[in-house]
Amino acid sequence: MTKKQKKILIRVIISAVLLIALHFIPFGDRWYISLLAYLIPYLVVGYDIVLNAVKKLIKGRLFDEELLMMIATVGAFIIGDYPEATAVMLFYQVGELFQSIAVGKSRKSISDLMDICPETATVVRDGVEEVVDPYEVSVGDIVIVKPGEKVPIDGEVIEGNTTLNMAALTGESLPVERGIGQTIFSGSINLTNVIKLRTTTEYDDSTVAKILELVENSTDKKSQSEKFITKFARVYTPAVVICAVLIILGCILFTDMSISDSVYRGLIFLVVSCPCALVVSVPLSFFGGIGAASRNGILIKGSNFLEILSKVDTIVFDKTGTITKGNFAVDAIHPNQVDADELIDIAALAESRSNHPVAESIVAAHGKHIASERLGEVSEISGKGIKAVIDGKCYYVGNGKLMEEVHADYHECHLPGTAVHVALEGEYLGHIIINDEIKDDSKEAIAKIKDSGIKKTVMLTGDNEKVASKVASDVGIDDYRAGLLPDQKVSSLESIMSENNTVAFVGDGINDAPVLTRADIGIAMGALGSDAAIEASDVVLMDDSLNKIPVAVKISKKTLRIVKQNIIFSLVVKIGIMILGALGIVGMRFAVFGDVGVLVIAILNSVRAMRVPK
């Protein structure tokens, strides 16, 4: 509990004790002494509410809950209901205290994430260690990270090996090992040994800076429910003030009630009408849901995306790097008119300038020195392969579409996998089969995704029909589209979106930016350090596990259920008590419950959004 919350709690306790004590004091006809006595606990607990209301009234900011509370309680004092006036303010402040504690609790998961931000960095300059602000570190600087320290900037390990705690980034509690040549992300905590890094980014572009910016901006993007409540409150609050006035006038003009009783009835209506429960509980629920997700390495860019995620009925997956590991390896070499060594030699030379995983697997399988002097002009043919001049001859290395384009008499392989065909001009030289392993958790994750209420799963891939069919079957994907060029992925997604209600696309965030942007909601996974993922997606999974997706879906659905529960409960109870109060059936105590009681119950219900469903 914060100092401010403790002060409010002390004021509430003092006011409650005084109010109970005054109840047993016989004031008799000395109303002025009774008024002064009850003003003490009233001002102890509510002076700040009254001051804020007066300030807002002077500034012309009418019709907020503090002003309504002031009008209702001052009105109760005027008509002589001193105990009820004090009780209303006391219970209102209790509700505010509950709200403050609940918001603080939901913010804790966000503030815990903010704690990953390092305050200093130890840089080696001219052989001397120097402690500086992380903003002063440049790309290429050597940084020392000691055990127990946070990694300040993204960098590559150049000396030492260690164990890192990356829980704040990925949600994964198990430590990871890192050594020379491996990349370490800022915000990780060094657990065991001293290491040296060569920084690869400036602080503003580092992983921790991107995550913090993402989290800070997440609360700015309101859901449709929050926008509705904001608009509703603007119309609702002045409307109930007018209704309260009309009730008072109606009772005075058309009944034999006294002015005091008429005002009392209007005040009951005014107290219960405060929209606090809605205005507070709805954004609090979304904030709790975003906080729960962030603790599990799932960054949701705003409550609007949390709301959309809850409505998703179809999830579309990229294959490579999403369902599969993206670690390609050569499985087979099938030459035609040349021997296997020559075929892999040509393919490796042609692919040697590419950093594509398929190209790297071919170069790795070649395993020999690449004679780059033999290689002339190389040009990429989008979605098909490459054209390379080797020893003065023109070779084509790529998929079946490229072979058709150059009129090479190729044939598909009977083995599953990605076939890389090779042709000299129009003469077919053979193909190389490359396979990509399915991730260990893909099948389990797809099953969990379906259990979370997703009706359909689809996979999009540039791979051939045979590979796509096998991968989809192995992991339990309902449907797939194979042989897609990059631009065809977008049109395929649009086709799926036209058939279904709300569609999410899951990709690695690097090559899938157009599709991530086009989907109703884009989910980038394994996206640590990826600019493309942060920019293009709406939800960022900070590790490489598909199992985070059903967690995100369940969090979103639970959050929306809580929001709907709070809206329905608040409106039904308030409208019911407002009607009963206007008819004179219930008194101020029920009005207090209709306001503060509903607020407390709605807040307690909202806090449930912070718990991650099992």
Which residues carry out catalysis? 318
Burial (CB count within 10 angstroms: exposed 0-12, middle 13-18, buried 19+), residue 587: middle
Closest CA to 581 of 272, 250, 256, 237: 272
Which structure tokens are listed for 487? 């631009």
Q: How far apart are CA 356 and CA 77, in angstroms?
A: 77
Place of tokens 């070499």: 333
Q: If you write DSSP's letter for every residue of 434-475 in order, what string do you get?
A: EEEEEPTTHHHHHHHHHHTT--EEEEE-SS-HHHHHHHHHHH
Distances (CA, A) of 456 to 322, 447, 539: 17, 11, 19
Q: Return the sign of the alpha-carbon dihedral for residues 178, 180, 186, 191.
A: positive
Which amino acid type is present at position 261?
Answer: D
Q: How far apart are the first and last CA of the chain?
A: 28
- List Cβ neighbours of 440 (8 Å cut-off, separation of 6 or more): none
Long-range pairs for 178-184: beta carbons < 8 A, 24 or more residues apart: 181/156, 181/157, 182/156, 182/157, 183/154, 183/155, 183/156, 183/157, 183/529, 184/145, 184/151, 184/154, 184/155, 184/156, 184/157
| Cβ pair 371, 362 in contact under 8 A | no
Alpha helices in 367-451 (DSSP H): 400-405, 442-451
Q: How far apart are CA 298 and CA 432, in angstroms?
A: 38
| Cβ pair 143, 194 in contact under 8 A | no
Closest CA to 613 of 292, 394, 146: 292
Q: How far apart are CA 351 and CA 116, in angstroms?
A: 40
